[in-house]
Amino acid sequence: MLISLRIENFALIDHLDLELSPGLNVFTGETGAGKSIILDALDAALGGKIDRRVIRTGSKRAILEATFELNEILAEWLANQEIDPVDGSLVVCSREITISQDSLRTRSRLNGILVNRKIMDQLRDRLVEITAQGQTMQMGNSNLQREWLDLYGGLPLLQRREAVTIAYQKAQKATAALENRRKSEQQRLQRIDLLEYQVQELDAANIDDPQELEQLKQESQRLSHVVELQHQSYQLYQALYQNEADAPAAADLLGEAENMLNDMVSYDSTLQPVLEMINDALAQVVEAGRQVSSYGEQLEADPHRLQEVEERIQELKQICRKYGPSLEEAVTYYHNIQTELKELKDGGESLEALQQAHQKAQQQLVKNCSELTLQRRAAAAKLETNLVGELKPLAMEKVQFQVPITPTNPTATGVDQITFCFSPNAGEPLQPLSSIASGGEMSRFLLALKACFSQVEGSGTLVFDEIDVGVSGRVAGAISEKLHQLSRQHQVLCVTHQPIVAAMADYHFRVSKQVIEETQDVSLNSELQGVRTIVRVIGLDNNERREELAQLASGRSVQEAIAFAESLLTQAASKRQKNFTTPVSSSGGE
């Protein structure tokens, strides 16, 4: 149940703290007074769609906060979201909307905790149900009618529909697998032939080492320059260790330096580190000379090996051109096609196995769809009876309503085409709901439908926005009684222009526009300075209700209108008392 609604800087509302109560809460006011703004704010607080225009002119931020009283279902849901209730029994839904020059940002919170749109959508369905006359435009949609019937069928039907959805997805997957296998068999065989040829070629090339080509190139360079390497090795050896010319070798010079430093250290020990560096350098030069000498002695010209290396390099370059461009990539490709070839030859599931899986999936889908159809037929029969029972008190004594269910192609929602067929008048044939033109008849149908749903849904807040537009006084009276009956199981919020409906309210609010002086807000444009229009909402006492009902009935507070308003209130009080002493019908009829 909605306990309070706080609104700041939303549309024409600067600030509003609205306290609400159980039962039938009615909002009245002149056309354009801003009644629907209250409901729009509630919708926005629960994550509804918004745009930049919802923020009050001259403001950059709007704040909406709706506080609800918890029931067992909500408390369990909050616990699953790991959100603690406020004061042990409340859930506070808040939304902050801010605008800048080029952006609109919103943040939603539950009990102070930031939450995403998905969480708000889940909670919204558990808190309120908003019904507007504009919904009658959608009532002829067969998909919506199917959704209504399934919701009316309750949890067992919804669970069966979920089973149908799963079975349909499995059947679709099995069909796709079978068709793909049939279409790809020829391609598979062609691919096997190609891969077998490539694997055979790469097997013969023996390309297990990705670094082989680089190593062979280095070996080729060495074998091609043996004479140069031998000559340079000999020259390097002489320069490092033993020079046959008159010039001393590096080792000789370092030896002389070592002798000189030995003498110097005997006089100054601070040169000891330098001596050690020379010692190390001499040892490294001597070792380098020996290794260069050994390298030169081992070098041998090998024309045969050079030819082998060159041939292998050409072979690997050819492999790279076909499967590379690098040898490493060619090796990777080789390993990949080996795996692919094995999988293709294994063949996955055989065609026969896929056919069996497809047949099994189709059989399961048919079974689930058949069971879903039976459950829908049972729900349809119950809805037909209950809806007629709800419509007859709404000045539709001769109404007929049926829900034909005809077979159609399988989908994720079953094999049923659902059509709501309706005849409001005696002697008129049943027609699809989309063919009914009267807004008043559609409004009553929608109200009766909500009354039926109230029997299978838990307690919550039902919102009706001008559901009674376009109906006569007699019909309005019937609608008012139906709304009050609904308010015995649900909190009901209703925007209305009908005095008969407003008279049945347990709590009556008047919505009006006021023009105020507002000169302190320097952020406003100069042309807006000084005068602003705001929406105000006040709760009415009995005297104020008479005045308001008289205004609704005649547009002026003449004595006759006041007397009419008093009679409406007296009749409404009697009807409310009757409703409270009469048990609520489980079938929805009277």
Could you write out the DSSP letters of every residue in 196-231?
HHHHHHHHHHT---TTHHHHHHHHHHHHHTHHHHHH
Q: How far apart are CA 341 and CA 141, in angstroms?
A: 52
Asked whether residue 13 is assigned to any structural domain, the reply reads yes
Cα 179 to its chain centre, rounded Å, is 32
Angle (CA) 356 362 365, round 5°: 145
In order of 44, 381, 443, 491, 553, the CA distances from 48 in angstroms are: 4, 34, 23, 20, 34
**Same domain membership, residue 113 and residue 194:** no
Give the global pTM. Answer: 0.63
| Whole-number pLDDT of residue 586 | 39
Q: How far apart are CA 552 and CA 555, in angstroms?
A: 6
In order of 114, 142, 154, 181, 579, the CA distances from 489 in angstroms are: 32, 29, 18, 57, 12
In order of 209, 297, 462, 541, 561, the CA distances from 26 in angstroms are: 84, 110, 12, 13, 20
**Same domain membership, residue 258 and residue 121:** no
**Same domain membership, residue 340 and residue 273:** yes
**Same domain membership, residue 316 and residue 218:** yes
- Regions of the chain with pLDDT less than 70: 132-139, 244-246, 347-349, 436-439, 455-459, 470, 518-530, 555-558, 560, 579-590
Longest dimension (CA), the chain: 141
Residue-wise pLDDT tens digits, 414-467: 999 999 998 888 878 888 877 765 667 777 888 888 888 776 665 578 888 887
**Same domain membership, residue 442 and residue 333:** no
The H-or-E segment that residue 577 falls in is: helix 559-581
Asked whether residue 307 is assigned to any structural domain, the reply reads yes
Asked whether residue 589 is assigned to any structural domain, the reply reads no
**Same domain membership, residue 331 and residue 224:** yes
Q: Which domain holds residue 32?
A: 2-140+420-581
The DSSP symbol for 407 reads E
Tokens of 134: 């504009």
Asked whether residue 169 is assigned to any structural domain, the reply reads no
The DSSP symbol for 136 reads G
Q: Which residue among 295, 313, 346 closes a domain? A: 346
Q: Which residue among 291, 313, 346 closes a domain? A: 346
In order of 58, 210, 426, 516, the CA distances from 536 in angstroms are: 18, 81, 46, 11
Q: How far apart are CA 5 and CA 19, in angstroms?
A: 7
239 phi, psi to nearest 5 deg: -65, -30
Q: How far apart are CA 16 and CA 67, in angstroms?
A: 14
Asked whether residue 172 is assigned to any structural domain, the reply reads no
| Whole-number pLDDT of residue 558 | 67
Asked whether residue 353 is assigned to any structural domain, the reply reads no
- Counting the structural domains of the chain, the total is 2
| Whole-number pLDDT of residue 96 | 93
Residue given tokens 């024409």 in the structure block = 12
296 CB-near residues (< 8 Å, 6+ apart): 229, 230, 233, 234, 237
Cα 291 to its chain centre, rounded Å, is 71
Q: Residue 144, SS3? A: helix
Q: How far apart are CA 36 and CA 33, in angstroms?
A: 9
Tokens of 321: 């051109």
Asked whether residue 403 is assigned to any structural domain, the reply reads no
